[in-house]
Chain A
Amino acid sequence: EAQVTQNPRYLITVTGKKLTVTCSQNMNHEYMSWYRQDPGLGLRQIYYSMNVEVTDKGDVPEGYKVSRKEKRNFPLILESPSPNQTSLYFCASSPRLAGEPKQYFGPGTRLTVT
């Protein structure tokens, strides 16, 4: 089944404790992206990747890191989480950006930082 998976789905952690949210897609998509969703603000793009070893900042990259060592995986790293990073996070992938860049989203990771 073609899908984007994220782990963990739910996470409660404390300020400053490094964490990684994994994202994996089995559709051989070149493009992957991370978003956070907060009430009233909609989806905001954190980082994106056009292909392996190619990443770039979205609109809200502060406090996050990413890597793209393999085509299928695009982990999101929070080196020192803070309470303002409490949010619902979505990973997405797309086959290509030329033409119609249709994004497929993972199920989301609900993160709470206390």
Chain B
Amino acid sequence: RKEVEQDPGPFNVPEGATVAFNCTYSNSASQSFFWYRQDCRKEPKLLMSVYSSGNEDGRFTAQLNRASQYISLLIRDSKLSDSATYLCAVKGDSWGKFQFGAGTQVVVTP
């Protein structure tokens, strides 16, 4: 079983709609959580960190559920430019070690 798992999608979303997807992790001692965005095999770029209490950044909302060991990302009012692959990243309890999910592809259609 992979340590970090994501639904690969694609999630096909009409422009203006809301889409949400999760990322599960297996190490209960994981300390930090992140969402990255990756376009067409270019470099991943940090979208947002995920805080225990949940956090928003504009149209993006991230949540952490430690009991069930997953994080989520919700995108409101989807734009065509939101089409990308979203990677979750988990920093474990070992210094310096990170695990990434394989990514969830989101396709926003006009």
Contact = CB atoms under 8 A, between A and B. Distances in A.
A97 B31 CA distance: 11
A59 B32 contact: no
B98 A105 contact: no
B43 to A, nearest CB: 4
B95 A50 contact: yes
Contacts of B89: 43, 103
B102 A105 contact: no
Chain B at the A interface: SS class:
strand
Contacts of B34: 102
Interface residues of B, number: 24
Contacts, number: 59
Contacts of B100: 35, 42-44
B49 A102 contact: yes
Given A100-B32, A101-B91, A90 B97 contact: no
Q: Chain A interface secondary structure, helix, strand, loop or mixed?
A: strand
Interface residues of A, number: 28
Contact of B32 (A44, A101, A104): A101
A79 to B, nearest CB: 23
Interface string B40-67: 0111111001000000000000000000
Interface of B: 4, 6, 8, 32, 34, 41-46, 49, 87, 89, 91, 95-103
Interface of A: 31, 33, 35, 37, 40-45, 48-50, 56, 58-59, 88, 90, 97, 100-108
Given A42-B4, A101-B91, 19 more contacts: A31-B96, A35-B100, A40-B8, A42-B101, A42-B103, A43-B100, A45-B97, A48-B96, A97-B91, A97-B95, A97-B96, A100-B49, A101-B32, A102-B49, A103-B46, A103-B89, A106-B43, A107-B42, A108-B42
